[in-house]
Chain A
Amino acid sequence: GQNIDQPTEMTATEGAIVQINCTYQTSGFNGLFWYQQHAGEAPTFLSYNVLDGLEEKGRFSSFLSRSKGYSYLLLKELQMKDSASYLCAVPFNTDKLIFGTGTRLQVFP
């Protein structure tokens, strides 16, 4: 079966760095997605990892270790607008996504 775990809530200070972890168990692996969702809005795509290692996109980076079933999203130079939920998701049966419950990040000044 498929299972994804991520922390429910995290807090951080503006300007700091925060790491949001995601562990998954899946039969077959076709990559891992991170989405950002502000309250009341659509989830928006952040990153997709299919190979091991770190991928950097500006202030956001995503890391994947397939052997450990582990990923993290790293947010640097936090801004107030980064307060949102961060959703980890893996595809199953090729096209559908199974999502974790999401990590709600609150950034304080």
Chain B
Amino acid sequence: GAGVSQSPSNKVTEKGKDVELRCDPISGHTALYWYRQSLGQGLEFLIYFQGNSAPDKSGLPSDRFSAERTGGSVSTLTIQRTQQEDSAVYLCASSLVGGENIQYFGAGTRLSVL
């Protein structure tokens, strides 16, 4: 596609439920990143996929968070047993690895946990 696409754009859920957030990167981009943006905070790195390599999960805040990337393209971020502190905007970005490695972002999914 022309840009990074994320769905849903907004998600409201009840505490304790599981949620899945989807990211469709720019075609041909081998690198995919998930970030979290809480109110008044900077973007916080969560996880990074590069080609067929094992993902870098060093930013995941707890074992309730997981992500996968199928076929080197679409990625899903799953949050199990959501808590109120998980409320944030979840941003996905993709890039061509090498060179300036500019990351292109989607508009994000705004998650509200009630």
- A-to-B contact residues, CB < 8 Å: 4, 31, 33, 35, 40-45, 48, 87, 89, 91, 93, 95-102
Known: A42-B105, A48-B100. A95 touches B48 (CB 8 A): yes
**Is the CB of B1 closer than 8 A to any CB of chain A?**
no
Contact with A along B95-114 (1 / 0, CB 8 A): 10100111111111000000
The interface size bin for chain B is: 20 to 34
Count A-B contacts at CB 8 Å. 53
Q: Assess whether B101 is in contact with A91, with CB atoms less than 8 Å apart.
A: yes
Q: For A96, list chain B residues within 8 Å (CB).
A: 33, 45, 48, 56, 59
Q: Assess whether A97 is in contact with B105, with CB atoms less than 8 Å apart.
A: no
Q: Assess whether A102 is in contact with B42, with CB atoms less than 8 Å apart.
A: yes
**Is the CB of B91 closer than 8 A to any CB of chain A?**
yes
Q: For B44, list chain A residues within 8 Å (CB).
A: 99
